[in-house]
Every structure is written in structure tokens, then in C-alpha cells.
Amino acid sequence: MTTSHAYAYGKLGDHDVLRAGFGAMQLNRGDAADAVKVLRRAVELGVDHIDTAQFYGPVNDLIRTALHPYADHLRIVTKVGAVTHPAERLVAAQKPEELRASVEENLRALGTEHLAVVNLRRADMPPGIIAAGDQVVDLDSQLGELIAMRDEGKIGGIGLSHVSLAQLRQALPAGVVCVQNLYNVITRGQEDVLIECAEQGVAWVPYCPLGSAFDQLPNVTDNSVVIAHAQRLGITPAQAGLAWLLGHSPATLLIPGTRDLAHLADNVAVARIELDREAMTAFDALAQDAAA
Ligand SMILES: NC(=O)c1ccc[n+]([C@@H]2O[C@H](COP(=O)([O-])OP(=O)(O)OC[C@H]3O[C@@H](n4cnc5c(N)ncnc54)[C@H](OP(=O)(O)O)[C@@H]3O)[C@@H](O)[C@H]2O)c1
């Protein structure tokens, strides 16, 4: 295992960011004061890339409470394509006018006039919401609306989430800065999209990098191979799983989610952890057992 300063930073569009960012979704429950502490600590530790969404309930308000006025270098990345619903928790909101309304809500809640990156969260495949009826919207019309908002200065960069390789390729002419798809060391169904991102200079931001958000996903920290190599290297299983993601592709930026200050420190430290060849090879082989 080695550490290197240069290894710690990656590109999100034109900006260098610490490769260990923070996914804020887990802050949608629990004590608000604790969530504010976690956000402030993340930034103190060097995190400059935070993933959020208006449909994560109170999370944007917590980010504003914790971090506003925002440091210039802080990239707050949000996503549109769904909205909260009183009965069903989350529903698709894929129409161009709904994307625009969601961008406006994010701007208002975060207390800013500009969003660093907005990810278009498609809803074509499980897990999560699936678009039906008039919510099945063609990608080009959505991109048209996002491009218009980028031209208006409301959005810095356009990202995609939960997309296929064909959709990524369709969207590339619009200028895509990142793709946020489900992927981790033991759930690797999206390798083709990752490869395309790396080739096209698009940041690859795997969501659920530890396998958490959906009940049906296996948890990285329960995997016996991950646990064994973590023990051998004197790091935690979570760090080992995250470090594999960084070592696997230079395009990768991490957004693990946590409410726990100790876990946060462990996760940020991963930006400077490079696994040895033995661990990389063993973890590469886990793809054969991958659930995705
Ligand atoms: N685009 C999309 O559709 C989409 C979907 C889901 C999520 N996301 C984004 O991706 C981010 C990450 O996904 P996620 O939060 O669902 O899952 P995750 O990062 O894979 O896992 C989070 C879980 O792992 C635990 N954990 C975190 N760090 C740990 C550590 N060092 N040691 C042990 N356990 C640790 C957390 O519990 P503790 O709180 O106890 O640490 C939490 O239960 C989200 O926050 C969200 O921003 C995007």
C-alpha cells in the first residue's frame, strides 16, 4: 500500500477535486445538528465535492446551514429527475419543465444562484424509480433544457445518473462532466459506462460505493475477500473497497455517504491510499461473483 499526493486529486469538469468526496443522502434522517457537524468536518478534512439532491428531503437545507456562504472551490453537485411525494416517497419528474423547476428549487434551498454540476437522474431501469406514462421522456429534450440552463448560468456542468452506454454516447455532444451510476467492487454491472467515461475524460462517480442505499445490494464491508485484505493492510474494509475504486480507474471520484465522524475521516483518508497489487488482483477477481 502506498500514498501519494498527486493520486489524491481528480477532474470534475475543469476543476480539480479531492477524489474522496461526500455523498450527503445519508443525512436525510437523524439529528440535524449532527448532520451539520459531519458536513463541516468533511470540508475541514479537505472534501470539496458534495453530492446532494432536493429530493433528499432536508439535505440541501442542512448543507446551507452548515456551509453557506460557500467556498469558491466547493463543488456542490445536485441531481434532478425525481421529486418527493407524500404517499410514494419519491416519484419521477423527468419532463424538461420539471427539470427546470427542480433546478430552481435546488438553487433556492441551497441559497445560491449557480449549481456547479446538475446530474440528470434517468429512471429507465431498477433499482429505484422507473418512469412510466408521460414520464418517459426522450433524453435529447432533457439535455436541451439543461443546456439552456447552462447557457443561462444556472448550471456549471451537466452530469448524468443511472444511464446506459448508449445514453452516455447520445449525451456526449452536450458536454457531460460526470456520470453517477451504481457501481462498487462487488457490484460491477456498469463497467462499459466506466470505460467510456475514462476514454472521454468524463468523471466516473459511482453511487453506493459501499453498496448501501438499496436493500437488495450486497454490502462491500461484508465481503470476506475485502475484509481479509483490509486486515492484511491495516485499513478498514470500507477503505479497502473504496481504494479499489480509485485504483481501478483514474476517472473515479468517490462520494461515500456517512453520518459518522470516524467513518468520514476514514473515507477521506482513502484519497491517499493506493492498494498493493495483491489486493487489486484479488478484488479484480470479485467481478466474476458480481451481483449486478
Ligand atoms: N444517483 C443516484 O441515483 C444515487 C442513488 C443513491 C445514492 N446516491 C448518492 O451516492 C451517495 C453514496 O451512496 P449511499 O450513501 O447510498 O451508500 P454508500 O456510500 O455505499 O454506503 C453508505 C453506508 O455505508 C456506511 N459507511 C460509510 N462509510 C463507512 C465506513 N468508513 N465504515 C463503515 N461503514 C461506512 C454508512 O453508515 P454510517 O453512517 O454508519 O457510516 C452507510 O450506511 C449518496 O449519499 C448519494 O449522494 C446517488
pLDDT tens per residue across span 236-248: 999 999 999 999 9
Q: Ligand 1 pocket test: which of 188, 263, 270 has the largest number of ligand atoms within 8 Å of its C-beta?
A: 263
Specify the range with the lowest mean pLDDT, choosing from 4-8, 62-66, 108-112, 127-131. Answer: 4-8
- Is the distance from the beta carbon of residue 212 to the nearest atom of ligand 1 less than 6 Å? yes
Residue pair 266/281 in contact by the 8 Å Cβ criterion: no
User: Rounded mean pLDDT of the chain?
Assistant: 95
Residue 4: the pLDDT is 64
Q: What is the residue with the minimal CA distance to atom 30 of ligand 1? A: 263
Residue pair 259/26 in contact by the 8 Å Cβ criterion: yes
User: According to the per-residue pLDDT averaged within each range, which of 6-10, 89-93, 158-162 is highest?
Assistant: 158-162
User: According to the per-residue pLDDT averaged within each range, which of 161-175, 207-221, 274-288 is highest?
Assistant: 161-175
Cell of 23: 455523498
Check pLDDT > 70 for residue 292: no
Q: For the chain, which residues make up each domain, given as ranges?
A: 15-286
Q: What would the DSSP string read from start to end of 156-214?
A: EEEEEES--HHHHHHHGGG-EEEEE-B-BTTB-TTHHHHHHHHHHT-EE--BSTTS-SS
Confidence of residue 290 (pLDDT cuts 50, 70, 90): very low
Residues with Cβ within 8 Å of 285's Cβ and at least 6 positions away in sequence, in order, are none
Confidence of residue 291 (pLDDT cuts 50, 70, 90): very low
| Farthest CA pair distance, the chain | 53
- Is the distance from the beta carbon of residue 25 to the nearest atom of ligand 1 less than 6 Å? yes
Could you list the active site residues?
56
Q: Which atom of ligand 1 is nearest to the CA of 219?
A: 20
Residue 288: the pLDDT is 56
- Is the distance from the beta carbon of residue 210 to the nearest atom of ligand 1 less than 6 Å? yes
Residue 166: the pLDDT is 98
- Is the distance from the beta carbon of residue 110 to the nearest atom of ligand 1 less than 6 Å? no
- Is the distance from the beta carbon of residue 206 to the nearest atom of ligand 1 less than 6 Å? no
How does DSSP classify residue 254? B
Q: What is the pLDDT of residues 3-44, one digit of tens each?
A: 666 789 999 999 999 999 999 999 999 999 999 999 999 999
| H-helix or E-strand spanning residue 12 | strand 9-12
**Per CATH, domain 15-286 is 3.30.9.60:** no
| Peptide linkage before 127 cis (omega within 30 of 0) | yes
